[in-house]
């Protein structure tokens, strides 16, 4: 459920500290579903994207970048032109259009997955238009989410996902990798014509996706070596039967999930674990994550198995942040048909087959929002200051440098320290106001370490460094500083162990 007060406060924090601006463009009134990342927000999102890249690379994926604008035949083949739409209702008085499922979830707290039109209407009758408090028209309409454009007089659409676009160069990829299985991902923009989006970065009309695709021989789905390495790992899965409503959340090993047929194949289990790990690596706390299997009726038309990773946010409750899908041979079959090209692979024995695709689909806006939502803390009234207690390795700025005073050669010394650190870390420099105020500003930005240059620094060539969360300080030699910060950010040493506390 939506926590309006918290959301207002968080939004104000994001705007004033330079995390997220919008709806964009603000000076022209702003259009719902469009946001800009300010300096700190962009640094945070970069950390999220670097974390995604690094984990995929470590697991043998390669990155691609494909166009965002494609001819409509692609979307006809993928099924998007026909089926990628939302069910909407219109206010009988002010004519505003809303997604029927979101209205119901927000105002009646009822799950809408798989509801038929007649069932949706029954719920809609209980709700008044949020804009003018009138009743809705008793009609559900399909509203296409595809954003249209035109190239050289022909109909094109902006991609609503990166996945489909990753399948198009299959023949080239097959040539490059030489054999199956292979895995690739894209991080890039996608566009959806969302209807009156009101969920900040969680539902944008232009957003960044990060989607990984594993191309695999269907015969190999249960012969997956990498599964053996992770099979003892436990995931927070909803088990039981959705229909009978006897679901329970339990930490269950991948091995047991396969044994009890919660998960169908070993390759899929590995993908689910990798997806979960993406969010752990970004610093999302384990106790905020759950993994839920799609009901048969909510599963996309192409999916054989589908689980969602959900994060519990302070602003919106549980939100979906990732879907892991077994798309079978659906996509390559369709694109073979429409392009009249053979999108097949060949086994060692010479037999030909259409590869299956396992997909890890998520974006980088939702986890960025989640980090701000989960780690933003309002401080006591009297101090009037907030904190951004993001995990240190995800902080937008790594270290801030302060000269104690704006005189007596202290700024010059501080400037030298800044230059020394800048080629390895993101560094902030602040010389205005009291040291206490500067510490508070750095804490609001989430900066884990602050360095102060005082008069002793000039004599002894050392500085004090302060830890954000413990507020402890130690003195350290300038010559050891870079190595020290590197080790701290990589979690290789404990702050308190590195020197004498002062
Ligand atoms: Zn209305």
Q: Domain with 121 in it: what CATH number?
A: 2.20.28
Distance CA 368, CA 365 (A): 5
Q: How remote is the CA of residue 323 from the centroid of ligand 1, in Å?
A: 34
Specify the pLDDT at position 384.
Answer: 65
Specify the pLDDT at position 428.
Answer: 97
Q: Over the Cα atoms of the chain, what is R_g?
A: 26
Distance CA 272, CA 360 (A): 8
Report the chain's mean pLDDT, rounded to a whole number.
93
Q: Is residue 330 part of a domain?
A: yes
Query: Using an 8 Å Cβ cutoff, are 19 and 44 in contact?
Result: yes
Ramachandran angles phi, psi of 337, nearest 5°: -60, -50
pLDDT category, 497, cuts 50, 70, 90?
confident
Asked if residue 128 has pLDDT above 70, the reply is: yes
357 in the same domain as 471: no
Q: Residue 280 to residues 48, 51, 375: CA-CA distances in angstroms?
A: 11, 10, 14
- In 3D space, the residue among 285, 373, 314, 319 whose CA is nearest the CA of residue 13 turns out to be 373
Asked if residue 480 has pLDDT above 80, the reply is: yes
Query: Using an 8 Å Cβ cutoff, are 206 and 69 in contact?
Result: no
Q: How remote is the CA of residue 173 from the centroid of ligand 1, in Å?
A: 50
pLDDT category, 383, cuts 50, 70, 90?
low
Q: How remote is the CA of residue 82 from the centroid of ligand 1, in Å?
A: 29
Q: What is the dihedral of CA 241, 247, 250, 254, to 10 degrees?
A: 20
97 in the same domain as 64: no
Q: Is residue 315 part of a domain?
A: yes
β-pair partners for 236: 251
405 in the same domain as 361: no
Specify the pLDDT at position 252.
Answer: 95
For β-strands 97-99 and 147-151, DSSP reports them as: unpaired
Residue where a domain stops, chosen among 312, 341, 373 = 373
Query: Using an 8 Å Cβ cutoff, are 249 and 237 in contact?
Result: yes
Identify which has the larger pLDDT, 462 or 295.
462
Specify the pLDDT at position 243.
Answer: 59
Q: Is residue 378 part of a domain?
A: no
193 in the same domain as 132: no
Residue 310 is encoded by which pair of tokens? 């959900």
360 in the same domain as 427: no
Query: Using an 8 Å Cβ cutoff, are 449 and 400 in contact?
Result: yes
Q: How remote is the CA of residue 110 from the centroid of ligand 1, in Å?
A: 22
DSSP 103-160: HHHHHH----TT--HHHHHHHHTT---TTT--PBPS--EEEE-PEEEEETTEEEEE-S
For β-strands 154-158 and 147-151, DSSP reports them as: antiparallel
Identify which has the larger pLDDT, 66 or 240.
66
Q: How remote is the CA of residue 90 from the centroid of ligand 1, in Å?
A: 8
β-pair partners for 293: 307
Specify the pLDDT at position 333.
Answer: 97
pLDDT category, 380, cuts 50, 70, 90?
low
Asked if residue 382 has pLDDT above 60, the reply is: no
Asked if residue 410 has pLDDT above 80, the reply is: yes
- In 3D space, the residue among 235, 70, 256 whose CA is nearest the CA of residue 159 turns out to be 70
Q: How remote is the CA of residue 85 from the centroid of ligand 1, in Å?
A: 22
Distance CA 424, CA 181 (A): 37
Q: How remote is the CA of residue 124 from the centroid of ligand 1, in Å?
A: 13
Distance CA 187, CA 364 (A): 8
Specify the pLDDT at position 381.
Answer: 60
Specify the pLDDT at position 242.
Answer: 60
Q: What is the CATH number of the domain that holds 478?
A: 3.40.50.800
pTM of the model: 0.93
276 in the same domain as 325: yes
Asked if residue 476 has pLDDT above 60, the reply is: yes
pLDDT category, 42, cuts 50, 70, 90?
very high
Residue where a domain stops, chosen among 311, 338, 373 = 373
Residue positions counted in the chain:
502
Look at residue 205 and give its three-state secondary structure: coil
Q: How remote is the CA of residue 131 from the centroid of ligand 1, in Å?
A: 5
190 in the same domain as 228: yes
Asked if residue 385 has pLDDT above 80, the reply is: no
Ramachandran angles phi, psi of 419, nearest 5°: -65, -40
Q: How remote is the CA of residue 133 from the centroid of ligand 1, in Å?
A: 6
424 in the same domain as 481: yes
Specify the pLDDT at position 244.
Answer: 60
338: left (phi over 0), alpha (psi -120 to 50) or beta: alpha
Distance CA 205, CA 195 (A): 9
118 in the same domain as 265: no
Q: How remote is the CA of residue 84 from the centroid of ligand 1, in Å?
A: 26
441 in the same domain as 318: no
Farthest CA pair distance, the chain? 79
Q: How remote is the CA of residue 6 from the centroid of ligand 1, in Å?
A: 26
pLDDT digits over 136-191, tens only? 999 999 999 999 999 999 999 999 999 999 999 999 999 999 999 999 999 999 99
CA dihedral (344, 347, 352, 357) positive or negative: negative
Sheet with 473-477, edge to edge strand ranges: 427-429, 399-403, 449-453, 462-467, 473-477
Asked if residue 474 has pLDDT above 70, the reply is: yes
Q: How remote is the CA of residue 64 from the centroid of ligand 1, in Å?
A: 44
Q: How remote is the CA of residue 231 from the centroid of ligand 1, in Å?
A: 52
Q: How remote is the CA of residue 205 from the centroid of ligand 1, in Å?
A: 22
Q: How remote is the CA of residue 201 from the centroid of ligand 1, in Å?
A: 24
Asked if residue 299 has pLDDT above 90, the reply is: no
Residue 489 is encoded by which pair of tokens? 């950010």
Other C-beta atoms within 10 Å of 35: how many?
A: 22
Q: Is residue 204 part of a domain?
A: yes
Specify the pLDDT at position 27.
Answer: 97
Q: Is residue 75 part of a domain?
A: no
Q: Is residue 256 part of a domain?
A: yes
The CA-CA-CA angle for residues 69, 72, 75, to 5°, reads 90
Residue 263 is encoded by which pair of tokens? 């998960």
Rounded to an integer, the average pLDDT of 43-63 is 98
Number of domains in the chain: 3
Range of weakest confidence among 153-167, 320-334, 487-501:
487-501
Asked if residue 367 has pLDDT above 70, the reply is: yes
pLDDT category, 392, cuts 50, 70, 90?
very high
Distance CA 24, CA 32 (A): 8
Specify the pLDDT at position 301.
Answer: 65
Residue 110 is encoded by which pair of tokens? 């009822």
DSSP character at residue 413: H
Residues of the domain holding 409: 397-497
181 in the same domain as 123: no
Q: How remote is the CA of residue 314 from the centroid of ligand 1, in Å?
A: 28
269 in the same domain as 131: no
């Amino acid at each position: 459920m939506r926590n309006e007060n918290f959301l207002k406060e968080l939004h104000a924090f994001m705007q004033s500290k330079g995390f997220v601006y919008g709806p964009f463009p603000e000076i022209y009134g702003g259009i719902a579903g469009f946001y800009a990342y300010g300096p700190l927000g962009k640094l945070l999102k970069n950390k999220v994207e670097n974390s995604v890249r690094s984990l995929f690379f470590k697991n043998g994926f390669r990155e691609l970048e494909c166009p965002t604008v494609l001819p409509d035949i692609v979307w006809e083949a993928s099924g998007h032109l026909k089926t990628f739409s939302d069910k909407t209702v219109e206010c009988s008085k002010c004519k505003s259009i809303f997604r029927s499922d979101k209205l119901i979830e927000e105002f009646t707290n009822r799950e809408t997955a798989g509801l038929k039109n007649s069932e949706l209407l029954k719920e809609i009758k209980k709700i008044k238009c949020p804009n003018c408090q009138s009743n809705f028209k008793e009609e559900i309409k399909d509203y296409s989410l595809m954003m249209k454009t035109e190239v050289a007089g022909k109909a094109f659409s902006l991609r609503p996902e990166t996945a489909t676009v990753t399948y198009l160069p299959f023949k080239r990829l097959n040539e490059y990798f030489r054999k199956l299985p292979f895995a690739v991902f894209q991080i890039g923009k996608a566009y959806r014509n969302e209807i009156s989006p009101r969920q900040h970065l969680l539902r944008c009309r232009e957003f960044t996706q990060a989607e990984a695709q594993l191309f695999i021989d269907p015969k190999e789905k249960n012969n997956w070596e990498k599964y053996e390495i992770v099979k003892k790992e436990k995931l927070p899965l909803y088990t039981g039967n959705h229909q009978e409503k006897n679901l329970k959340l339990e930490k269950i090993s991948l091995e047991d999930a396969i044994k009890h047929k919660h998960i169908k194949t070993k390759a899929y289990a590995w993908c689910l674990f990798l997806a979960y790990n993406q969010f752990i690596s970004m610093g999302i706390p384990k106790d905020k994550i759950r993994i839920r299997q799609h009901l048969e009726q909510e599963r996309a038309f192409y999916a054989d198995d589908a689980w969602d990773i959900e994060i519990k946010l302070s602003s919106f409750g549980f939100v979906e942040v990732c879907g892991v899908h077994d798309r079978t041979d659906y996509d390559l079959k369709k694109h073979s048909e429409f392009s009249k090209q053979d999108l097949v692979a060949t086994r060692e024995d010479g037999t030909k087959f259409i590869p299956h695709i396992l997909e890890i689909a998520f974006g980088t806006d939702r986890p960025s929002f989640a980090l701000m939502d989960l780690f933003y803390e309002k401080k006591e009234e009297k101090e009037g200051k907030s904190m951004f207690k993001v995990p240190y390795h995800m902080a937008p700025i790594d270290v801030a440098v302060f000269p104690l005073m704006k005189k007596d050669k202290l700024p010059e010394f501080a400037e030298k320290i800044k230059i020394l650190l800048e080629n390895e870390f993101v560094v902030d420099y602040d010389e205005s106001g009291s040291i206490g105020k500067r510490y508070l500003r750095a804490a609001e930005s989430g900066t884990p370490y602050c360095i102060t240059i005082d008069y002793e620094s000039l004599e002894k060539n050392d500085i004090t460094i302060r830890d954000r969360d413990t507020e402890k300080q130690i003195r350290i030699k300038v010559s050891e500083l870079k190595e020290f910060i590197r080790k701290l950010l990589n979690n290789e040493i404990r702050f308190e162990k590195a020197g004498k506390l002062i």
